[in-house]
Structure 1
Amino acid sequence: MKNSKLIYTKRIDRVTDYIRSNLDQSPSLDDLAKVAFLSPFHFHRVFTAITGETINAFTNRQRLEKAARRLKFSDQTATEIALSCGFTSSSTFSRSFKKYFEVSPTEYRKTGKIENSKICKDFHPVNEYVLEMSDEELSRKFPVEIKRFPERRVAFIRVVDAYADNRVLHAFDRLIDWAKANSCFDEGTVFGMSLDDPTVTPADKYRYEACITLPDSGNIDFTTEISEMRIPKMDYAVTRVSGDIKIVATATEYLFNKWLINSAFEPEHQPALEIFLDKENVCNWEHFELDLCIPVRPLRSI
């Protein structure tokens, strides 16, 4: 069947989304197979065939990457982070973290870097694009507003190993062609979502979703490749960016590493957004017109 792999991929996407949303739990193989509408006898082989990882390896990597983000962006203790990410104890978490990243949780929290790790070569070289600017220059160039976004109905294409072979660009091409054919493009907002942190996720595992908002109601002819979801109402920290990839990388670095940790907000457990303001030229990546958006909530004391 021509589209069989896409069908299997969408089923396994349901499972990876479920695992990511329930990292503090340990669902059984039968439970995960039900999410994918697959037989438990064959589910593990299908999962590995689609993702390139075993269920245990995928779950462990997601837990460690989530923990790394919390070490970097929250004031939670290592024990609190360990338990919230599904580890049975802080000692188990510390051993797993050190084994995977080759740096202890304490060292990572101090530096925010894993550059000595042997797997670091598989990460995106994001830092090479960041421009040298003072804090004053950054805050002046990238002012941040808090905006409330309503609940949205969204069509999307998920891409794995996202930046290999222009996969993201091709996904946006296909999504935009589909939206125009279904009369959704003119009123839709085109945006992208990074499901992983490029500073901790190996490049070949990095996932990105090319998205467009849809009318709240009405029947739309979805293809095998294009899925539908709803994004809940949420507050976002938003800064506008105009320029090349170095400007985008610098703004992203500032938003997460400078503005956020000095603000009265903490990140929600939802992906950041890149809203393409010039949606007719989404695939012109020599110059960007973007709103960079981090989902946030008021910072809580612990």
Structure 2
Amino acid sequence: MHENRRHVEQINKALPYIEACIGEGKSLTLENVSQFCNVSSFHFHRVFQSCVGQTFGKYVRRLRLERAAFWLLYTAATVSEVSESSHYESNAVFSRAFKKHFQESPSNFRRNRLNISTDSFQQFFSNLSMQDIEPVDFCWVKSQRLAFIRKVGRYESVASLAWHSLKTQTQFVPGISASELYIGIAHDNPLITDYDQMRYDACVPVSMDFKPSFNIGICNLPSAHYAKFLYKGKEDEIWSMYDAIYYGWLLKNKISLINFAIFSEHRPCSEKNEIALYVPICK
């Protein structure tokens, strides 16, 4: 049990580091990450596969390709520029890897995803009033240090599990148990990532001296410009608004995003029954 606990702590330390490096387009090797976690490459490779369910190499390749898909959808970058920023040695190698993962070429992926018709968009939603959502504000959000618990799978299924785990495991932890702010990070876009691989983090802000333990990891919410939306409704139906943002507002308005995750924010003790959604945008 002690060994398993230590392994989970190592992976919780590694995942935000891996994802930050990929998000920033930095090179990344097994040796880099092993050194960051203060363990041998052999040990880390074995522990990573056991805890994450994928080899380190396969996980990194998938996230790099999904980052490339993100740039194709939400920026004006050319395929060559996306290939270079994804650390592929040539456009041909990048295109082969992309097609193997997404079953279509980068150019076709961009064209097909951006050509979602009005009819198919309307059929997608059961709540058609979501189609015309607009942000209530555009604002700068400062970086925050967060404690998190992650669950992987379809957001509608795993988000509540993540929050239950976080609240259960932190109910007696000083600095967390009395948190006045909950932050949910939805890392993945349903236009890009398979539902069973989508990552959701239930988070609370913590001070710099907070020490992570077992299932609780530490990550940083990056500072950036965000479009702020307000959701008022049943908490378990908020995913309709995420879909409306991804499938509607972003594509309809040709908004350029930066490669950070959408996050939600709500105050559990507030009398207002509303959740704020923040979408990272270029400005």
TM-score (norm 1): 0.76
Q: CA deviation at 1:129?
A: 6.2
Could you tell me how far apart the structure 2 residues matched to 1:130 and 1:6 are?
42
| Residue 79 (structure 2) aligns with | 78
- 2:162 partner amino acid: A
| Residue 202 (structure 1) aligns with | 194
Could you tell me how far apart the structure 2 residues matched to 1:73 and 1:163 are?
22
Could you tell me how far apart the structure 1 residues matched to 2:161 and 2:59 are?
26
Residue 168 (structure 2) pairs with residue 169 (structure 1): no
How large is the Cα RMSD of the aligned pairs? Answer: 3.4
Could you tell me how far apart the structure 1 residues matched to 2:58 and 2:103 are?
17
Number of residue pairs matched by the alignment: 274
Could you tell me how far apart the structure 2 residues matched to 1:5 and 1:202 are?
28
Query: 1:241-252 to 2 correspondence within 5 Å?
Result: 241-244=231-234, 248-252=238-242
Residue 26 (structure 2) pairs with residue 31 (structure 1): no
Q: CA deviation at 1:25?
A: 4.7
SS at match of 1:275: strand
User: Structure 1, residues 218-242: CA drift from partner, whole Å, max 9, x if none?
Assistant: x557542222333343221111112
- 1:156 partner amino acid: F
| Residue 260 (structure 2) aligns with | 270
Q: For the Cα contact (< 8 Å) 1:158–1:207, is it kept in 2?
A: yes
Q: CA deviation at 1:85?
A: 1.5
| Residue 213 (structure 1) aligns with | 205
Q: CA deviation at 1:86?
A: 1.8
Q: CA deviation at 1:198?
A: 3.1
Alignment CA distance shift 1:253-1:172 (3 Å): closer
Alignment CA distance shift 1:70-1:28 (3 Å): closer
Alignment CA distance shift 1:154-1:128 (3 Å): farther
Structure number with higher relative contact order (C-alpha < 8 Å, ≥ 6 residues apart): 2
Could you tell me how far apart the structure 1 residues matched to 2:123 and 2:185 are?
22
TM-score (norm 2): 0.80
SS at match of 1:53: coil
Could you tell me how far apart the structure 2 residues matched to 1:247 and 1:142 are?
18
Could you tell me how far apart the structure 2 residues matched to 1:253 and 1:85 are?
27
Q: For the Cα contact (< 8 Å) 2:148–2:218, is it kept in 1?
A: yes
Q: CA deviation at 1:79?
A: 0.7
Residue 219 (structure 2) pairs with residue 235 (structure 1): no
Equivalent of 1:157 in 146, 149, 155: 149
Residue 94 (structure 2) pairs with residue 93 (structure 1): yes
SS at match of 2:44: helix
Q: CA deviation at 1:247?
A: 5.8
Q: For the Cα contact (< 8 Å) 2:135–2:227, is it kept in 1?
A: no
SS at match of 1:266: coil
Q: Percent of aligned positions with the same letter in both sequences?
A: 25
Alignment CA distance shift 1:246-1:223 (3 Å): closer
